[in-house]
A and B are shown apart, each in its own frame.
Chain A
């Protein structure tokens, strides 16, 4: 079997969670890689939507921003930003919102706003962008992030995007009728929320990962499912698809390499 990195395993495990009939609101970074690997392997008809307004896009390389020209070029349609957020997201047409996080807690609450106090932050992060409403208006939320004690914390500094709040039926009590975070994919494991408490629980360890490794890179006491499984290793096709995509992307984002090649199809 070909060897692979934990990061590649994370992206491929995330891609497997996506279905052909999903309508997915895609975040930049690992979510974007996972969504496009899904599209290039088992889910060719998946609808990928980026918040710049591109609906049903099929980029040949991963975009650096949510509005690269290739996204518009390959989309079924491109709409204005107000329409994107009003009709498509708030209108309830998104099945999966795919988010990353700077800080995450055990209930899938996400912080991408500040580290420290909001008024006097230790680190000012970019902020929420589309995420606060993606988290509550998409029918389900998938989260992906590399594990670290700094990222997976007991208590996040700021609620940018609401997950399950304090757990249990907290979403329902706030009048939110979508499912919220239903899946967390890290570089070591697959996690799902406990049906009652909504606390993320490890249901599958990636090949080579141990319970100890998961606990050492997580800021809360980790719960493991009694029916803990091992995530199937990436297939040759999955790995080749991801690596080709990354190679095309790296070439395209360096000056002087991409432009002429990509332009040729526009004739």
Chain B
């Protein structure tokens, strides 16, 4: 049952060294504040799972927190490579990083299988592609009805999933809207789930029930962190800070500059700092069919 907690406590109570953890968000609603709190608390030996590792995993890998990365696209979308991840894979800096690489279709299916309580996902994938040769967790399977050759991948089951969402109500139900990505599946596949939200409202009575809602009993803890997905965005609240993604390419390119940036913007910062970072982006927020 969802407990409302300060972010530091929500992270401390739900994440442990060595955990398999997913900080999910598909370009939208990326849980940056939660990731930064995990970095401040200095967890080690994590297995980081995410379809699109993006900046926060570049930061966690660069800080030496990960022993393994499970992913399907390790890039800074529209900008280029994740330079800290690349340094770990190519040079073992700051430590060696094991990788388990998939396609988006495989990861999406694997999360869905995790949410559905199945041991594996079956889909039509990887045909002619070499990932199946270098990743032993991709196996061929034959349809028992048609004989068609398909691909199987193990279900994703994180110990804990972190997501960011627009709002919670007082009872702790959580609303996600806009590009909903893989977050619902990532929460339902995990043993524990922590959600940061932009705000808490009294109830969801005025909302249409077809919206994506995670009932409070699927969530372990909720923390209110306005701006908590910056430089990603929260549909209806603030726009994506595309300039920050472009800047990251330069910051992450240099080991020393990266450390200095982390020291200033993460180690010596707090969850409360996020609200100010999105202030100038609020006017550009996408608000769909504002009634």
Listed in ascending order, the chain A residues whose CB lies under 8 Å from chain B are 28-29, 51-54, 63-73, 78-82, 84-86, 89-90, 113, 118-119, 121-133, 135-137, 158-162, 165, 170-171, 174-176, 252-256, 258-260, 262-263, 266-267
Question: Is B27 an interface residue when CB atoms closer than 8 A count as contact?
Answer: yes
Known contacts: A29-B78, A89-B105, A127-B75. The answer to whether A66 contacts B27 by CB under 8 A is yes
B73 CB contact (under 8 Å) in A53, A129, A262? A129
How far in angstroms is the closest Cβ of chain A from B178?
A: 5
Q: Which residues of A contact B149 (CB under 8 A)?
A: 175
Known contacts: A69-B239, A252-B242. The answer to whether A126 contacts B125 by CB under 8 A is no
Known contacts: A80-B181, A176-B127. The answer to whether A259 contacts B283 by CB under 8 A is yes
Listed in ascending order, the chain B residues whose CB lies under 8 Å from chain A are 26-28, 51-52, 71-75, 77-79, 81-82, 85-86, 89-90, 101, 103-105, 108-109, 111-112, 123-131, 134, 148-149, 178-182, 184-185, 233, 235, 239-243, 245-246, 280-288, 290
CB <8 Å contact, A132 and B125 = yes
Chain A's closest residue to B107 (CB) is A81
How far in angstroms is the closest Cβ of chain B from A44?
A: 22
A-B contact pairs, 12 of them (CB 8 A): A64-B77, A64-B78, A67-B27, A68-B27, A69-B28, A78-B180, A81-B51, A124-B90, A132-B103, A160-B129, A255-B243, A263-B239
CB <8 Å contact, B73 and A52 = no
* A162-B130 Cα distance, complex, nearest whole Å: 9
* A125-B73 Cα distance, complex, nearest whole Å: 9
Interface of B is mostly: loop
B129 CB contact (under 8 Å) in A159, A175, A253, A256? A159
Q: Which residues of B contact A85 (CB under 8 A)?
A: 104-105, 108-109, 123
CB <8 Å contact, A64 and B242 = yes
Enumerate the 5 nearest inter-chain pairs by beta-carbon distance, A residue then B residue, closest first: A67-B27, A259-B284, A162-B128, A126-B75, A65-B77
* A159-B208 Cα distance, complex, nearest whole Å: 45
Chain A's closest residue to B129 (CB) is A132
* A118-B136 Cα distance, complex, nearest whole Å: 14
How far in angstroms is the closest Cβ of chain B from A147?
A: 20
Which of B85, B131, B241 has the most chain A CB within a 10 Å cutoff? B131
A73 CB contact (under 8 Å) in B129, B185, B243, B288? B288
CB <8 Å contact, B103 and A128 = yes
Chain B's closest residue to A264 (CB) is B283
* A79-B185 Cα distance, complex, nearest whole Å: 13
How far in angstroms is the closest Cβ of chain B from A59?
A: 11
List 14 extra interface pairs beyond A90-B123, A159-B129, CB under 8 A. Answer: A67-B181, A69-B240, A72-B235, A81-B26, A82-B185, A118-B134, A128-B129, A128-B131, A129-B72, A129-B104, A162-B129, A253-B242, A262-B284, A263-B284
